[in-house]
Each structure stands twice: as structure tokens, then as C-alpha cells.
Amino acid sequence: MPLIDLRSDTVTRPTAAMREAMARAEVGDDVYGEDPSVRALEERVAELLGKERALFVPSGTMSNQLALLLHCERGDEVIVAPGTHCNVYEAGAGAAWAGVQFVVAGDEVAGLSVDHLDAALKPAQYYLPRSRLLVLENTHNRRGGAVTSVADSAQLALHARERGLRTHLDGARLWNAAVALGVSEAALAEPFHTVSVCFSKGLGAPVGSALVGAASDLERARRLRKMLGGGMRQAGVLAAAALHALDHHRQRLSEDHRAARAIGALLARAGHAPAPIHSNIVNLPLPPGHRAEVALAAARTAGVLVSAMDARTLRLVTHLDVSLAAAEEGAQRLVQALWAGAPS
């Protein structure tokens, strides 16, 4: 019985066609700016997001950290919604490298509104930290892949800009948001100074992200990337995988969203409805008396891998390497493992 891995959309392995594209890639030394495949990827991503320039980086974490370094000075404040990746999942890097502190504003479920943003802003006083940057995440990982519309993104980002803030969008799964909303990535990216996108999540590439924005910002980001050790040499083999993913795996993300909804429907039929499903992530609160770590172990024994959002919530993510049938089978196995024989 092969394991069904629903822990994350980062667990995918490159397809045969992607590996072929990687093997065929033309390469050069990208620290010299001489890798044609990296250049092609950066041009393609900048165009897709409607920005002047893109910079290929090893990870979404580095991309977000470059944005903090680019926009902030030490001691500045960064306003984020609860559970935002660059605050909770980047090992304290924002404090360690950029020297910023985070102000968490908004609601765990609904996210951040203009009112929350206003309440988080500090007046300009020499003895107060300076409110400097707004970071939004679309889709929002911890909020179950929640999608922010073009109108809401624009309202928040423009409100922040009018108050003198810089704005960064963590779009690790911007591709999912665009497909879920039926809009272009450029429309979602438009109001932000910088945007980070990942190729290694739903798109199924093995490595890589990009920071995108104005040419002047990206020139500085290139220097900062070098300072962080993110300058890569013949990175065209990786860029080729990302280009292949953009060409072949972007539109199919709707299949992952359909599979997530199928998981949700199956769990609901079994009497264990998950939180609302927006894209490819299913958050499943456990009933009283259940602990996530025990549930994970039982699920593994039943042949399905899931992850824990916290001590009482499981997380299931659909991706390129699970078909609709496998996703449903995974949900069945989970129900069997956790609730077979118990009244629901």
C-alpha cells in the first residue's frame, strides 16, 4: 500500500519531462550574470507579474528576507497578519538579519483589514519604532490557503502606501491565488513594491523562488542576495525546472483545488468538516480529546501522511504528485485511522 503524502505541496519530485528540461538547459555563471536560462526565467517572471525585474533566489525564505533588508532599517516595524510566514516560520531571521520587529495585526481567520492596519501604525515620533513595511501573504498558508481578492489586496496595499509604508507580498502560492480567482498574477501583484513567488510549492520545481519589483530595488536586492550567500553559479539547471513548471504546471493548479474540495467533502460526509477550503490546503480541527501528534502517527500507520498546524489542527495539502483518486483515498484512510468505529 503506497503512502499518500498530503503533508505539503513541497514534497513533489520533478517529473521526467522536467528532468529532461533541466538536462538540456543552457547554463553559464549567474554570479557574472551569464546564465541564459536564469535570465530567461527572470524575464518571464517579471513579465508575468507586470514588474520591471525579477531575481532568482534559492528559497522563499531568502526572497522574503531580501524584501525585509531592502525595505527596512534596523529597529523598523513590519506589520503582518497572524501566522504570516516571514514572522513565524523563518527561524527569527527578520530580527537576526534585518533587525526588524513584527507587529501582528488582524484576525486569525479573517486576516488583516484596513482598520487593523490603522490600529497597528505608530505615529511618527523619534522615540517610537518606525512603521515601515506591510507584508501580506496570498494565498495565506496558515489560514488554510485563504485567497485575497484583487480589490482587497489593492485596498490594503494602497492604504499602506498612502501612509508612507513600503509593501511586500509573499506570493509563495500566488499561482494558486490567481487560478482560484481567475485573474492574472500581475493583477494581484500590481499594488505591491515587491513580490516573492515560489516555484517549489504547487508548481512542482525542486528548488527556487524569485523576488520581483522595480529595477532599482532589484539591483540592490542582487547585492543583498550575494551578501546572504545566495549567488548561484550554473543555476540554469534549476531555472529550467522553474520555466518548465510555469509552462506546464500553472493551469493545472485548479486540479489541486478540486482535490482539496473533494477531501473536504469526504471529511464532512464522515462528520468531520474541515475549515473552509479556498485553494489547495485543508485545515482540519480535531474534536476535543484528540491530539495532532497522536493523529499523525495513526494516519501514518494507515498509509497517509498529513502534518499538524498546531496541537489540535491537522493540515492536508494537495499537489502535483497526488491525483484526485489518491487524495480521496488519503482522506478515507485518515477517517478510518481516526474515527473508524467511533460515533462522529
Ligand X SMILES: Cc1ncc(COP(=O)(O)O)c(C=O)c1O
Binding positions for ligand X, rule: CB under 6 A: 10, 59-61, 64, 85, 137, 141, 170, 172, 198, 200, 209
- Least CB distance to ligand X at residue 86 (A): 7
Tell how far CA 168 is from the center of its chain: 13
Up-side HSE of residue 21: CA atoms within 13 Å toward CB? 20
Amino acid residing at 181: L
Q: Output the smallest distance, CB 133 to ligand X, in A.
A: 15
37 or 64: whose CB is closer to ligand X? 64
Residue 30 vs 170, nearer CB to ligand X:
170
Total residues belonging to the chain: 344
Identity of the amino acid at 113: S
Closest-by-Cβ residue to ligand X is: 60
Residue type, 263: I
What SS3 class is residue 111?
strand
Residue 196 CB, shortest distance to ligand X, in Å, is: 7
> Which three cell numbers mark 341?
468505529
Residue 268 contacts residue 336 (beta carbons within 8 Å): no
Report the C-alpha gap between 55 and 329 in whole angstroms.
40
Radius of gyration of the chain from its Cα atoms, rounded to whole angstroms? 20
Closest to ligand X by CB, 225 vs 333, is 225
Q: Provide the minimum distance between the beta carbon of 290 and ligand X in the complex, in angstroms, as a whole number.
A: 25
Shortest spacing between CB 342 and ligand X, in angstroms: 33
* Nearest to ligand X of 170, 256 (CB atom): 170
Whose Cβ is closer to ligand X: residue 283's or residue 302's? 283
DSSP-derived pairing of the beta strands 53-57 and 209-213: antiparallel
